[in-house]
Amino acid sequence: MRGLIRAPQNFWSGLALIAFAAFAVWGVRNLSQGTLTSIGPAMLPRWVAIGIGLCGLVLVIGSFLREGRPLERWHVRGPLFVCLAMLVFAFGIRSFGFLVAAPLAMVVCGIGSSEVRWRELLVFALALTIFCVGLFRYALNQPIPVLLLPGLAIEI
Amino acid sequence: MFDFVSHLAFGLGVALTPTNVALCFVGCLLGTLVGVLPGVGPIATIAILLPITFGLEPVSALIMLSGIYYGAQYGGSTSSILLNIPGESSAVVTALDGHQMARQGRAGVALGIAAIGSFFAGTVATVVIAALAGPLTEVALVFGPAEYFSLMVMGLAFAVVLARGSIVKAIAMILVGILLSTIGPDLTTGQNRLTFGFAWLSDGIEIAVLGMGLFGIAEVFRNLESVERREVVQGTIGRLLPGAEEFRQSAKPILRGTLLGGVLGILPGNGAVLGPFASYTLEKKLADDPDRFGRGAIEGVAGPESANNAGAQTSFIPLLTLGIPPNAVMALMVGAMTLHGIVPGPQVMTKMPELFWGLIASMWIGNLMLLVINLPLIGLWVRLLKVPYRVMFVGIVLFCCIGVYSLNREIVDIVILMVLALVGYTLVKFDFEPAPLTLGFVLGKMMEESLRQALIISRGSMMTFVERPVSAALLIAAVLMLAVAIVPKIRQGRDVVFVE
């Protein structure tokens, strides 16, 4: 395998495109394509997906013929904690409100950096939370729940 | 001629109400605030700030948005000059000489000439838009669906040519964008497509979420990879106002840059991105001693910055007259307009003249705002840039979350944002550019509509696209451009432009 593929990045890109295209074609399998005079819902998605598949095929074939870039290194820490932070925010905002969700999410998010400094992060998280409540909730009047504590029946 | 003056005056009347001026100001300020953050370009900035315009009247909202847009542009130049971290591809050129000037203690002059050049370019471009909008709108009114479809094909072909790296990958990205745009109900039958039974997919994907995920958060992932080695220019910023000699040196580059950027910006398919590169190359060729370039030549800041702003502004022309966004930023503008119930296109000018001319006038006010209010605030932006990235990215992520949540107050949108961010990171890892995807995403729905209509009119004959002369010409232009991009020799030239 290894000696055959001269451009690993393109090879895997191509395979991914083909898989994505196949998935889309499968996704619209139950919809009618219609005719050229009256285009059905599946016409565009299906043919565009086929086009994507062809692009993928070109990339895969090309990866055997021409030298190309190797795969890049992936970093897990940053994306992992940032994604976790987004989930914390998403599930915290409705249940506990911004005052709880935002600082919590920011602390989780901050761990994503390899240079995290705890004290600095905590101070920043608290300050930005207060700033954002002022800016978005009160100055810009966005409908963001500020604090919800169902047990105490507090709702701001 | 009188017509055009009276239109502008009418527009100024709309834009100069105290509320609208205040909104334009706040927009400029917030746009700069977010745009100045390293790695946050105009696309991400607009996406993040889009929700704050929701509660406003359509005219005011658009005026605020254009303020945000100019602020974001200017913020990008600031971080390129002071930090050497360009927020978007067109600011790369500014970083070359601008950052060198900053290291020589002339940061203030670099920022000053950038703002002055941009203001001049913005003023000229505003006049150009006001003058061209009328005639072009009339052209647009004779365009049928077939012509629209071909025009969009040409725009996408141009976007492929202008994308960096592999052509096949750029085409694939555009197609993926179009495919993503088909998610949700089919416009004629109402059947759900590609939603896989999930209710939260039945409205499709929001363009703002797409922009924030692919451009905002994905960029954070990338920046977190490396330990930060960022040096904010130490010492003083120096005086902001360029001296007489510096003005003399920059006058012609500003003029030429404005012309180049303005013309390129009108082209569909993100021609604006070429402006700064073209201007830089031109100035270097015309200079008496080209060696100074890359070592802090003021022409290398004045020209490209003017070209950038002129292009940024004339790229409104295809959007306002034809309703076709030429690049990802304008694509977001379409999203914003649609959210406010405005369908961009030739009918806007006739049906909503106050919106149309008000927006054009506010472009000029936005530019003026940057010059007179933002420039003196430069100290504030410098202080902001000294915030280390390990803290700053936390703020960027939070802003994105708040932005997405305020769109529809849907929690699932934040999850979609997360998935799109991971997709964006993956794309970068495999050397795909997200910008063509965004363009394809916005044009996708319009293309399907015009394709459908054109084929209904022609009773299913595909020949309609080549039988109608205008449509045929547009398609030929598209094919020529793609052919040019594939011919190896010219391709090398294209790579050189981007390397430089």
B43 touches B329 (CB < 8 A): yes
Count CB atoms within 10 A of the CB of residue B223: 19
| For chain A, percent of residues with pLDDT exceeding 70 | 94
A contact residues 44-83, partner B, Cβ 8 Å cutoff: 44-45, 48-49, 51-52, 55-56, 58-59, 62, 69, 71-72, 74-75, 77-79, 82-83
B414 and A90 within 8 Å at the Cβ level: the answer is yes
pLDDT tens, residue by residue, B120-140: 999 999 888 888 887 887 877
Residue B44's pLDDT is 83
SS3 A154: strand
Q: Quick one: closest CA in B to A81, which residue?
A: B221
Q: How many residues does chain A have?
A: 156
Q: Token pair of B295, please?
A: 């070592």
Q: How many residues does chain B have?
A: 500
B402 and A132 within 8 Å at the Cβ level: the answer is yes
A78 and B224 within 8 Å at the Cβ level: the answer is yes
Q: Quick one: closest CA in B to A108, which residue?
A: B394
The reply to whether B451 touches chain A by the CB within 8 Å rule is yes
Q: Token pair of B362, please?
A: 């506010």
Q: CA of B170 to nearest chain A CA: how many angstroms apart?
A: 10
Phi, psi of B256 (to 5 degrees): -65, -40
Which pLDDT band holds residue B233 (cuts at 50, 70, 90)?
low
Nearest to B448 among A44, A72, A82 (CB): A44
Residue B237's pLDDT is 72
Residue B488's pLDDT is 61
- H helix runs in chain A, sequence order: 8-27, 43-65, 77-95, 98-110, 118-132
Query: Residue B500 pLDDT > 60, yes or no?
Result: no
d(CA B181, CA B151): 18
Alpha-carbon torsion, ordered B152, B157, B163, B166, to 10 deg: 140
Query: Residue B199 pLDDT > 60, yes or no?
Result: yes
A62 and B421 within 8 Å at the Cβ level: the answer is no
pLDDT tens, residue by residue, A41-60: 888 999 999 999 999 999 99
Residue B180's pLDDT is 94
C-alpha distance from residue A77 to each of A101, A120, A134, B224, B384 (Å): 21, 19, 32, 9, 26
Phi, psi of A141 (to 5 degrees): 60, 40
Mean pLDDT of chain B: 84
Mean pLDDT to the nearest integer, B416-439:
91
Residue B252's pLDDT is 92
Query: Residue A156 pLDDT > 70, yes or no?
Result: no
A41 and B193 within 8 Å at the Cβ level: the answer is yes
Lowest mean pLDDT across A25-39, A83-97, B111-125, B367-381:
B367-381
B424 touches B217 (CB < 8 A): yes
Better-scored residue on pLDDT, B36 or B178: B178
Angle, helices B299-314/B274-286, rounded to nearest 10 degrees? 150
Residue B239's pLDDT is 78
A24 and B179 within 8 Å at the Cβ level: the answer is yes
Contacts of B189 in chain A (CB under 8 A): 40-41
Q: Token pair of B451, please?
A: 């394709």
Nearest to A55 among B168, B228, B430 (CB): B168
Which pLDDT band holds residue A126 (cuts at 50, 70, 90)?
very high
- H helix runs in B143-243, sequence order: 145-162, 167-181, 207-211, 218-225
C-alpha distance from residue B454 to each of A110, B141, B200, B466, B478 (Å): 52, 15, 32, 12, 19
Write the CB contacts of B366 (distance below 8 Å, at least 6 apart in sequence).
B24, B27, B28, B66, B67, B69, B70, B71, B122
Residue B106's pLDDT is 85
SS3 A148: strand
Residue A48: name the closest of B441, B211, B326 by CA.
Answer: B441
Residue A20: name the closest of A42, A62, A51 by CA.
Answer: A51
Contacts of A74 in chain B (CB under 8 A): 429
Match 């295209």 to its residue by tokens: A21
Residue A2's pLDDT is 55
Mean pLDDT to the nearest integer, A3-22:
91
Contacts within 8 Å (CB) and 24+ apart, A18-25:
A18/A53, A18/A56, A18/A57, A18/A60, A20/A49, A20/A52, A20/A56, A20/B176, A21/A49, A21/A50, A21/A51, A21/A52, A21/A53, A21/A56, A22/A49, A22/A53, A24/A48, A24/A49, A24/A52, A24/B179, A24/B194, A25/A49, A25/A50, A25/A53
Residue B397's pLDDT is 93
Question: Which among A25, A35, A37 is the top mutation candidate for probing chain B, defined by the most B β-carbons within 10 Å of its own β-carbon?
Answer: A37
d(CA B456, CA A140): 46
Phi, psi of A20 (to 5 degrees): -60, -45
B55 and A140 within 8 Å at the Cβ level: the answer is yes
Residue B277's pLDDT is 86
Mean pLDDT to the nearest integer, B83-87:
72
- H helix runs in B315-433, sequence order: 316-317, 328-339, 346-351, 353-369, 378-385, 389-408, 411-429
The reply to whether B234 touches chain A by the CB within 8 Å rule is no
Question: How many contacts (CB atoms, under 8 Å) link A and B?
Answer: 192
Q: Report how far Cα B361 is from the mean position of its chain's Cα atoms.
A: 19
The reply to whether A38 touches chain B by the CB within 8 Å rule is yes
Nearest to B194 among A27, A58, A87 (CB): A27
What's the sign of the alpha-carbon dihedral B24, B30, B33, B35? negative
